[in-house]
Amino acid sequence: MLRIIPNVIDIIITSIIFFILFFCWLNFYIKNTILSVFLGIFLTFLIVFFLFFFKSKRNKKKNFSSKKQKEATDCAMQLKFSDELDVKKYFKKILKNDYSIKTIKSGLLLEKENIKILFVMNFGQEIFNIDNLAKTFAQAKNLNVNEIIIVANAFDEKCKSLANAIKEIKISTFDAFDTYEKFIEPSKIFPNKVIDTSKTKLSFKQVINYAFSKERTKHYLLFGLILIISSFFVYFKVYYLVFGSILLVFALLTRILPKFKKEQK
């Protein structure tokens, strides 16, 4: 129930902002308040329905807080710059309580109750692609395993689709965030620090995330509403409408973009 509340709040706030935008601009052009209200409600319902419908379909099962985002990214970066043998030792430490493990050239060979699994780690590459999958599949067939588990930074979409389509051997793929959620976080075992990620510069994406975090909704909304309301009482209303609309669009982005919360120091 508690998980549903943030989504409901998002829908309510987004609907209000869309309605204000539609109503103000429709009323500005067609000069009919009642028609503007009905058209505003209709357009708001239409946009919000499709917006949250498609958003829910493409959202990943993981809804990481910014702290988890940072930890998962940091772990992937440490593994990326770690020696291949050290990466194998690291995952062997995580998995040793659940499987009997043998270190092989292509990864780790896990065994449990007559089930053999090839555990492949590929953090050196940015994207795990179809060529990597084909090579892994061939190795798995030679080892006569029942399942393949692949952990990597990220996967090519075609590669993931192909992995799901292969019926001969079950193939499970875990990107950096899935790996953190499935293996690293539950075990509380983290990679050795190879590089200091705290000294890396802010990326454009991080700047956008900061500018459109949910904590800024109220600021954009408040000043946007002040300008929109002021447009009804001034002569050059279009300027107030334009800048008020821009701030309301910013408020919308804080609800539509992925969820980020302020990190607690």
**Could you read off the pLDDT of 45-54 as tens digits, one per residue?**
888 887 766 6
- 107-112 vs 100-104, strand pairing mode: antiparallel
- Residue 200, pLDDT score: 57
> Which has more confidence, 68 or 113?
113
- Residue 62, pLDDT score: 47
- Residue 120, pLDDT score: 96
- Residue 22, pLDDT score: 84
**Residues 202 and 218: beta-carbon distance below 8 Å:** no
- Residue 63, pLDDT score: 53
Q: How far is CA 232 from CA 28, 63, 87, 124, 222, in A?
A: 10, 41, 63, 59, 16
> Which has more confidence, 67 or 141?
141
> Which has more confidence, 15 or 264?
15
Confidence of residue 233 (pLDDT cuts 50, 70, 90): confident
Domain ranges of the chain: 4-59+203-219+232-256, 66-196
CATH number of 66-196: 3.40.1350.10
- Residue 247, pLDDT score: 85
- Residue 264, pLDDT score: 39
Confidence of residue 205 (pLDDT cuts 50, 70, 90): low
**What's the whole-number average pLDDT of the chain?**
82
pLDDT tens-digit series, residues 146-193 = 999 999 999 988 999 999 999 899 999 999 999 999 999 999 999 988
Confidence of residue 248 (pLDDT cuts 50, 70, 90): confident
What is the pLDDT averaged over residues 88-103?
94
CB atoms under 10 Å from CB of 21, counted, come to 22
Which DSSP letter does residue 221 get? H
Alpha-carbon span 80 to 152, nearest angstrom: 9
Confidence of residue 259 (pLDDT cuts 50, 70, 90): low
> Which has more confidence, 42 or 233?
42
Q: What percent of the chain has pLDDT over 90?
A: 38
- Residue 64, pLDDT score: 55
Residue 27 has pLDDT above 50, yes or no: yes
Confidence of residue 263 (pLDDT cuts 50, 70, 90): very low
**Residues 148 and 140: beta-carbon distance below 8 Å:** yes
